[in-house]
Each structure stands twice: as C-alpha cells, then as structure tokens.
Chain A
Amino acid sequence: MIDTTGAAETAAAGRRRPAPRVPDNPVKLAVAAVFVLFVIFGLPEFMNLYYTGYLTLAAIYAVVALGLGVLVGRVGLFSLGQGAVIQIGAWTGARLLYATAQPYPVVLIEAGLVTMLIGTAIGLPALRMRGLYLALITLMLAGAITVILATVNFPNGGGGFSGYDGSSVHIPPIRRPSIAGTDPAYFRFAVVVGLVMFALVFLHLRTRPGRAWAAIRQSEPAALAAGINVTFYKLWAFALASFITGVAGAVLAGQSHYLYSINFTTQDSIILLAVALMGGVFNLWGAVVAALLMQLLPAVLQNLGVAYDWLTIVFGIGVLQVLTTAPTGIVDQLPRDIARLVLFISGASRRSTANQGSAK
C-alpha cells in the first residue's frame, strides 16, 4: 500500500504559479534603466548625424547579435548564417514597406514572422545534425540564400513578387514611420524596437524555454531523460532567433533607405559570429558590446583615419583569444580584469606605503 497523503497538495504546489519575483539585483536594474533612458533621450542630442546613423545600426545589430547569442550561448547551436537571416528580414520588410501602407510595427512583426517561418523551415532538417555539421549546413544555406537574393535583387519599388525594377531610374526610398522620419527619431525608434526584442528574449530566458535550453546546453541526453522535448525547444530557439533577426532586418531596411545585395557579404556572417563571441554570448549585455564593436568602432576608426581592415584583424585575434582563454567574452572578462588590476594597484600602493613606513 503506497501512502498518497499529501500527494495532492504537492501536485497543487507544483502547479501553483510562482509569485512574480523582484529583480535579483535592483542596482543592476537601475543601471540598465538609466543607461536606456540616456540612450533614448540624451544620446541623440550629443551626436552628429554621422554617429547617429552608426548608432542606429548598432541598435539594430545588437538585436541580431542577441539572436546569435541565444543560439550559441543558451542552446549551444553555432550558426554561421545569421547574415543571411537578416537579409531575409530586410528583404521582406522592404517589400512590405513598398507594397503596403501598413503601420510600421505591423510590418516589423510580419517581417519577423516570415523570417521565423523560413528560419524554422531551415532549422527543421538542420537540427538532425549537431555541432560542426549544423554550423556548416547553416554556412551552406546562407551561401545559397545570398546567391538567390543577389539574383532576385532587393525591392526598389517595382512591381511583381520581387518588387525589383531594373530599369527604374528614380528609386523611391524605403519609407520610415511618420513619427520617426528624421535620423535621431529613427534612432530612438530602433532603440525602442531593440528594447522590446531584448525584453522578449529576457522573458524566454526566465521561463520554461530558458530552463529547457539551459538543460539542453548542459547535456542533451540528460535533458531528454528529464522529459524535455529537445527538438521542439531547439526549434523554438531557432524560431526566436530568426524572429528577432527578421525584425532587426526590417528596421535596417528603413534605416538604409535603399538596399543592395552587395552590402551583404559572407564575411558579415563571420564577423557577426566573431563579435558575438568577443562580446560574450552568455550575457545579454554581450550583444550590446558586440553591436558596438561591429558598427560603432568602425565609424570611430574611420573618423580617425584608420582603415577598417585593421579592425577585421583585431576581430580575428579576438576570436582566437576568446576561444583559447576567455569563453565568456568581454562583458565578463573586462570587469574581472579591472577588478584584478584595481586589487593589484591597491596592493602595490599598500605595499609601497608599508615599505616607506618600514624605511622610516
């Protein structure tokens, strides 16, 4: 006879939803809030148009890096094809913006959904492969998508499915939302969209999918044994990453006004992975750092007259450094290094005062 008294309560407790928690660290949250408020309201006032444009790109690419961070850092799926995913988002966004008069948020969501569908359709067969093979098949599919889009061309206001008119002389720019026509306003818009995407990912990480991903990353067999539907949650990660990358692509369409396939290269996908690894894939801030490395740093260097190619070399060295010594990226490493440096300096100064004291 098995004693079942109390089993009902236990089950009920298991079903009871946990009360909404206070944030783990109010200080961290406050810092984040101040940072965000400053970025939205303060930053555009300081910046000239040159930097505003690049910061908008940084806000867009932070979302792309975030998607890659979810795949690499949370689930352990390396994708070498995110550069192609953003192209799908940009293409869809541009097509919808030319063809319809829908409000911007609707277009963004639609672009995200289309990208999500394509990303998931690609992910479904790819998920049968693991590790290296999965990374390589994403590289292959990205190559194929790039060739297709280079042939179909990005929409330029023409008709038909592709929306491309090769003979068009006067090309209308891709429209922006009526409230965000100017560059600073569009920057704010991109940041707000980015925030929503970060919140979406944050929500995922804090709930069931996040826990499932963590379990899968630790050990797939163990996750399977614990009753987690591994394929479903991996696919979910693909869907989420594709969705936010697609939305970012649509924002990119509005930012650049005109899209050309030569602006998207294979190297972009690789640099994207490089900066995402350098920024840190285990931390949401890592995506921000990655985007600043990829979009703002080149602008600063260009202003200083330094060739972009130096940065490519630095990214290469960064990848090797991250993979050999610091898998958590700049976001985790830098504070630790600074703390160590501060300790070292304070230790040294204490030692020197002690030495002076003993010399007296």
Chain B
Amino acid sequence: MPSWSELEPFIISGLALGGVYALSGVGLVVLYRATGVLYLAFGAVGAFGALIAWSMVQGGIPQWLAWIVCILFGGVVTLGYGTVFGPPLAGRGPLVRAVATLGLTLILSGAMDLLWTTSGGQARSLPLPTDNGGFTVAGIQVTWTQVIGLAAGVALTVGTGAFLRYTRLGTAMRAMANDREITATLGVPVRRVEAAAWFGCGVLAGIAGLLLQDLVSLDATTLTYLVISSLAAALIARLRSITVTFVAALVIGMIHDMATTFTALSNYRDMTPFVLAAIALIWVSRRQTVMSRSGEEAS
C-alpha cells in the first residue's frame, strides 16, 4: 500500500484531469439536451484545433492568437457540422445522429494523420506558459495548468448551470430538451438556439483540446479517443445532470491517477472511466430499461 503522501500528488493531477473531463462532459450533455445529438467528434475537433495551434506556434505566430484560433476552430467546425447535418438527421433517432458524428470523427482523424504525419516519430508538444509557474501546497508542486484544468471545469459547470437557469437562451435550451415541437410552437427560434448550442459545444471542444494536449499529450489518436472518458462521466449522469457529470468526472480523474501508485492496478488504470460508466449504467438499469423519452429507440 502506498502511503498517503505518495497519493497526494496524484490527487492533484487527478483533479486537474477530472476538471477537463468535466468540461468536455458538460459540453456533451448540454448539446445532447438541446439538440438530441451526442457529439462523438468532440475529441477529434479538440485534437485538430490543438494541432493547428501547434503548427501556428511553430510558425512563429504569437501563442495567444494560436489558442484563439484553436478554440474558434472547434466552434466553427462544430457549428458547420450542426448546420449541414443537423436538419437532415433531425427526424432520426439519437443513435443514428450519434453514429453520424463518428463520420465526422473519421474525417477529422484521417485529415489529422495526413497533415501532421506521425511517421517522423517526434513527439509534439505545445507547452502552455502556465506549466512553469505554480505553487506548493503541503509539499506538493501544483502547476497553473492543473489549476486552470480544475478551475475551468468548476467555472464551466457553474456557469452553464446559471446560463441554463437564468438566461433567455438557456431557458429556450431547457425547453427544447423537454419538447422540441412544443418549444417551436411557442415561438422559440429553434434553429438559432440549436446553432448557439452547437457553437458553444465546439468552443468547449477547442478549450478541452488545448488543455488536454498539455495535461495528457499532443497526439491525434489519444486526444480523439479521450472523448470516450468524458463520455463516461456524461453517461454516469445519464446525459442529463451537469452536476452529476461534474462530480463523476472528478471521481474518474482521481481514481485514474491514484491507481498509478498501486502496482497491481497501474496498468489497468485506463479502464477506470469504462468500468465506472458500465457499472453505473447497469446499476441504474437494474430495475427498468434505460430509456429517457420517446424517440430514444434505434431507427
């Protein structure tokens, strides 16, 4: 058994990772509630943005500009996808709409491998200036990037919660999550609200990509499929509650990193999100079939 002091640094890094998972998970849940689309290309969009930012920094462009481009890229691509493929698939089940975003994932992933070939074998990295600074808490080194990861997760969860509760647009999104048809009848500009949700989710994908490339690694495949880990948090919340998503994401991040210290578990730590999500889903569905509302069936 590792001692408590050995575990502490992993709690910090786990919280940072969990914070970014929370950021992604909340983005996924909000978009799913507003539009009915589970955006599986979330990770690929973030990875693409991060790689663009890397190229820009390599080309001598100031860092802050590269970050903005990365974040905007996420928003624009996601909004573009939502505008083009949202309407034709609107009548189909959530499953078909989720699988369609896998199409976008493949396109982006192929394009990334073409543009940033991995054959060279050189490891890319885009260190954020926040890595160097930091402070020490009870003998543990904490970088600002880790703080930003957790803070972004917290801020985003609180911010989104407030946004959904108190603003006009947020109310419209919640109404659409309940019933799209009735909301449209009430005079809410459904398409525009959806566009806002798509753009917002894309921006979050860009931010998540930027943070994760620093916390994990700047590798197209890794970042693309990290979405599955944040998806696990969203799934534990049954794609509904952003608070549960946030808590689940922190727990996943912490267990994942703390498992590093146990030699027997260390190699299996990447299973954490999958196992927790599977257990949660099976637990929730032990009595009844998991099915949120009409139209949940495959079609």
Residues of A at the B interface (CB closer than 8 Å) are: 76-78, 125, 128-133, 135-137, 139-141, 143-144, 147-148, 151, 220, 265-267, 270-271, 273-274, 277, 307-320, 323-324
Overall SS of chain A's interface: helix
Q: Report the minimum CB–CB distance from B207 to chain A (whole Å).
A: 23
Q: How far is the CA of A141 from the CA of B108 in the complex (A)?
A: 24
Q: A129-B281, A144-B275, A144-B278 are in contact. Are A139 and B228 (CB under 8 A)?
A: yes
A-B contacts, 26 of them at CB < 8 A, read A76-B298, A131-B93, A131-B296, A131-B298, A132-B94, A133-B291, A135-B98, A135-B99, A141-B278, A143-B228, A143-B270, A147-B270, A147-B271, A147-B274, A151-B268, A267-B225, A274-B102, A307-B114, A312-B106, A312-B113, A313-B107, A316-B104, A316-B107, A319-B106, A320-B100, A324-B88
**Which of A125, A128, A273 has its CB near the most chain B CB atoms (within 10 A)?**
A128
Give me 4 other A-B pairs in contact (C-beta within 8 A), A125-B285, A143-B228, A315-B106 excluded. A133-B281, A267-B109, A267-B225, A324-B100
Q: A310-B110, A319-B99, A319-B103 are in contact. Are A129 and B285 (CB under 8 A)?
A: yes
Categorize the interface residue count of chain B.
35 or more
In contact, A320 and B103 (Cβ under 8 angstroms):
yes
Q: Write out the residue numbers on chain A whose beta carbons fall within 8 Å of the beta carbon of B289.
A: 128-130
Asked whether B152 is an interface residue with its Cβ less than 8 Å from the other chain, the reply is: no
Q: Write out the residue numbers on chain B whose beta carbons fall within 8 Å of the beta carbon of A267.
A: 106, 109, 221, 225
Q: How far is the CA of A277 from the CA of B103 in the complex (A)?
A: 11
In contact, A132 and B106 (Cβ under 8 angstroms):
no
Q: Report the minimum CB–CB distance from B233 to chain A (whole Å).
A: 12
- Indicate with 1 or 0, residue by residue over B102-130, a CB within 8 angstroms of chain A CB atoms: 11111111110110000000000000000
Closest chain B residue to A142, Cβ basis: B274
Q: Report the minimum CB–CB distance from A127 to chain B (whole Å).
A: 9
Asked whether B38 is an interface residue with its Cβ less than 8 Å from the other chain, the reply is: yes
Asked whether B231 is an interface residue with its Cβ less than 8 Å from the other chain, the reply is: yes
Q: Write out the residue numbers on chain A whose beta carbons fall within 8 Å of the beta carbon of B100.
A: 319-320, 323-324
Q: A139-B228, A140-B232 are in contact. Are A131 and B94 (CB under 8 A)?
A: yes
Q: Report the minimum CB–CB distance from A122 to chain B (whole Å).
A: 9
Q: Report the minimum CB–CB distance from B29 to chain A (whole Å).
A: 13
Q: Report the minimum CB–CB distance from A358 to chain B (whole Å).
A: 42
Beta-carbon contacts under 8 Å, B116-172 to A: none
Q: Write out the residue numbers on chain B whose beta carbons fall within 8 Å of the beta carbon of A319.
A: 99-100, 102-103, 106
Q: Write out the residue numbers on chain B whose beta carbons fall within 8 Å of the beta carbon of A128.
A: 282, 285-286, 289-290
Q: A128-B290, A130-B297, A270-B106 are in contact. Are A323 and B228 (CB under 8 A)?
A: no
Q: Write out the residue numbers on chain B whose beta carbons fall within 8 Å of the beta carbon of A132.
A: 38, 93-95, 98, 296
In contact, A137 and B221 (Cβ under 8 angstroms):
no
Q: A130-B291, A132-B94, A313-B110 are in contact. Are A323 and B104 (CB under 8 A)?
A: no
Asked whether B267 is an interface residue with its Cβ less than 8 Å from the other chain, the reply is: yes
| Number of interchain pairs (Cβ within 8 Å) | 155
Q: Which residue in B104, B114, B228 is a CB contact (below 8 Å) of A310?
A: B114
Overall SS of chain B's interface: helix
Q: Write out the residue numbers on chain A whose beta carbons fall within 8 Å of the beta carbon of B268.
A: 147-148, 151
Q: How far is the CA of A135 from the CA of B298 in the complex (A)?
A: 10
Beta-carbon contacts under 8 Å, B225-251 to A: 225, 228, 231-232, 235
Q: Write out the residue numbers on chain B whose beta carbons fall within 8 Å of the beta carbon of A274.
A: 102-103, 106
Q: Write out the residue numbers on chain B whose beta carbons fall within 8 Å of the beta carbon of A314.
A: 110
Q: How far is the CA of A265 from the CA of B99 in the complex (A)?
A: 18
Q: Report the minimum CB–CB distance from A308 to chain B (whole Å).
A: 8
Q: Write out the residue numbers on chain B whose beta carbons fall within 8 Å of the beta carbon of A316.
A: 102-110
In contact, A130 and B298 (Cβ under 8 angstroms):
yes
Asked whether B85 is an interface residue with its Cβ less than 8 Å from the other chain, the reply is: yes
Q: Which residue in B92, B103, B274, B286 is a CB contact (below 8 Å) of A317?
A: B103
Q: Which residue in B85, B113, B225 is a CB contact (below 8 Å) of A324?
A: B85
Q: A267-B221, A312-B109, A313-B111 are in contact. Are A141 and B298 (CB under 8 A)?
A: no
Q: How far is the CA of A139 from the CA of B228 in the complex (A)?
A: 8
Q: Write out the residue numbers on chain B whose beta carbons fall within 8 Å of the beta carbon of A308.
A: 113
Closest chain B residue to A324, Cβ basis: B88
In contact, B228 and A140 (Cβ under 8 angstroms):
yes
Q: How far is the CA of A270 from the CA of B100 in the complex (A)?
A: 11
Q: How far is the CA of A135 from the CA of B102 in the complex (A)?
A: 12
Asked whether B277 is an interface residue with its Cβ less than 8 Å from the other chain, the reply is: yes
Asked whether B182 is an interface residue with its Cβ less than 8 Å from the other chain, the reply is: no
Q: How far is the CA of A77 from the CA of B297 in the complex (A)?
A: 10
Asked whether B56 is an interface residue with its Cβ less than 8 Å from the other chain, the reply is: no
Q: A131-B95, A274-B103, A319-B103 are in contact. Are A311 and B110 (CB under 8 A)?
A: yes
In contact, B274 and A323 (Cβ under 8 angstroms):
no
Q: How far is the CA of A42 from the CA of B274 in the complex (A)?
A: 46
Q: Write out the residue numbers on chain A whose beta carbons fall within 8 Å of the beta carbon of B69.
A: none
In contact, B114 and A141 (Cβ under 8 angstroms):
no
Q: How far is the CA of A140 from the CA of B271 in the complex (A)?
A: 9
Q: How far is the CA of A11 from the CA of B44 in the complex (A)?
A: 59
Beta-carbon contacts under 8 Å, B179-193 to A: none
Q: Report the minimum CB–CB distance from A237 to chain B (whole Å).
A: 13
Give the 10 A-B CB pairs with smallest separation, nearest first.
A312-B110, A316-B106, A319-B103, A316-B107, A313-B110, A320-B103, A144-B274, A309-B113, A128-B285, A151-B267
Q: A139-B228, A316-B105, A324-B85 are in contact. Are A309 and B298 (CB under 8 A)?
A: no
Q: Write out the residue numbers on chain A whose beta carbons fall within 8 Å of the beta carbon of B285.
A: 125, 128-129, 133
Q: Report the minimum CB–CB distance from A297 to chain B (whole Å).
A: 13
Asked whether B216 is an interface residue with its Cβ less than 8 Å from the other chain, the reply is: no
**Which of B85, B113, B281, B297 has its CB near the most chain A CB atoms (within 10 A)?**
B281
Q: A76-B298, A309-B113 are in contact. Are A143 and B271 (CB under 8 A)?
A: yes
**Which of A148, A267, A271, A318 has its CB near the most chain B CB atoms (within 10 A)?**
A267
Q: How far is the CA of A250 from the CA of B99 in the complex (A)?
A: 29
Q: Write out the residue numbers on chain A whose beta carbons fall within 8 Å of the beta carbon of B109.
A: 267, 312, 316
